[in-house]
Chain A
Amino acid sequence: MIYLELFIEFAKVSIFCVGGGYASMPLIEASVVDTYHWLTLSEFIDIFTISQMTPGPIGINAATFVGMKIAGFTGAICATLGFVTPSFILCLIVAHFFFKYGDIGPIRGALNGLRPAVVALIISAGMGFVLLALWNTEHHPADWLAFDKSNLLILALAVIAKTKKVSVIKILFGSGVLGLAFGLMGF
């Protein structure tokens, strides 16, 4: 039965997806393109492109896309559930033990080292986003002065809104509206 097969296959893949994001792509490709021939390589690359511009973790996007293609919306649900279920259960087990017995020297020490690491990764994501928003590149911009002025304006307004305690969702929504408005005005 295809639904069960999708669930089990994506469950298997997700167990080996340590590190998240793009780290999981080769694994998904191996299963979906090479083993099962559910997608062609070019369709698989399309998922990359879609994931660049749509919300959501790339693993979920791939699972949904494949499920949809193979067996419609029910297939999408099965593949996505398959992809999420193993780590969900694992997270619950780890969380249970962490909150019960996590307060011991070595674990506390490791987390004390990991907290600054997470801060660094958030800064890194932020810097990447600044480059993307203002210079439309993920790497070193060719000309630092040639930045996107309307995007800078949206960014600045969003910063001001955040310091004025405007809710996160209103800020995201408002930025989208401004993006559309500025674009239509040709600003």
Chain B
Amino acid sequence: MDEKSESTKNIETAEVNGANDSNGDTPKMDPKNYDHFYRALFTSTFLISAFTVGGGYVIIPLLRAKYVDEYGWLTDKETLDLVAIGQSLPGVVAINSTVLMGYRMAGIPGALVAAFATALPPLITISLISLAYDAVAHNPYIELVLKGMQCGATALIVNVAIDLVRKQLKKKLILPLAIIVITFIANFFFDVNIMALVLIDGLVGLVLMREKKYS
């Protein structure tokens, strides 16, 4: 229970230090100054991973809401950079991204804690389910809870998406907005492979977006 009051205290400190501005290049607060940082990192990542049905781009907005909005351990820019890198490396996007974020926040120990906290919930859940697949898969109560959680996750993803778009609009730059619109249409309506989109957008950036104003 005392963790709750600690985290509120920490959030308040973060807010006093100008928390709501996650546009900046430095995080609102240094994770090293956070009491019980590793415990908080493990708990929040574990719970989000445990309650989130869906792959990388579902869990990432939720982690962003936690790390950026609530704790201020990372900036939006860092988060998006690291997800882009995590997407380009082999393996599971969600885990790659949390490993990179963990490393950014607290080096190798941070990466280890984040990786374990992301991988452990599915490991436990699937192990249990594989023992009693039929009992769990068609249990109406579990279905109701999962459906409800899915609605909550939807709200959070939409909220994060709106936030990110609003920040992009404020910058009044055409090229990033064009990338957002075209990539979204290609992925959502035409099911273009994510890897292909990442490759193309990376190349566009490499060639056209090296100027300071885009970063």
Interface, chain A (partner B; CB < 8 A):
14-21, 23-24, 46, 49-50, 52-61, 64-65, 68-69, 73, 76-77, 80, 83-84, 86-88, 90-92, 94-96, 98-99, 105-106, 108-130, 132-133, 151, 154-156, 158-159, 161-163, 165, 167-169, 171-180, 182-184
Contact = CB atoms under 8 A, between A and B. Distances in A.
B70 A113 contact: no
B151 A92 contact: no
Contact of A155 (B111, B154, B204): B154
Given A20-B56, A91-B96, A109-B206, A115 B157 contact: no
A108 to B, nearest CB: 6
Given A86-B91, A119-B161, A125-B58, 18 more contacts: A14-B91, A19-B87, A21-B194, A52-B53, A55-B122, A57-B56, A57-B95, A59-B91, A60-B126, A87-B96, A105-B210, A112-B215, A117-B201, A151-B151, A169-B44, A169-B47, A172-B152, A179-B149
Contacts of A159: 155, 158-159
Given A169-B44, A172-B149, A21 B156 contact: no
A122 B111 contact: no
A172 B51 contact: yes
The 4 closest A-B pairs by CB, nearest first: A179-B148, A113-B205, A56-B122, A87-B91
Contact of A92 (B88, B108, B127): B108
Interface SS of chain A: helix
B92 A57 contact: yes
Given A80-B119, A173-B51, A168 B154 contact: no
A28 B180 CA distance: 32
Interface in B95-118: 95-96, 99-100, 103-104, 108, 111, 115
B206 A129 contact: no
Contacts of A80: 119, 123
A119 B161 CA distance: 7
A112 B44 CA distance: 29
Given A56-B125, A91-B111, A126 B201 contact: no
25 contacts: A19-B195, A50-B129, A50-B137, A54-B126, A56-B123, A57-B94, A59-B91, A95-B99, A109-B207, A109-B209, A110-B205, A116-B168, A117-B84, A117-B179, A119-B80, A122-B157, A123-B165, A127-B188, A132-B150, A132-B154, A154-B148, A171-B152, A172-B156, A174-B152, A175-B149
Contacts of A109: 205-210, 214
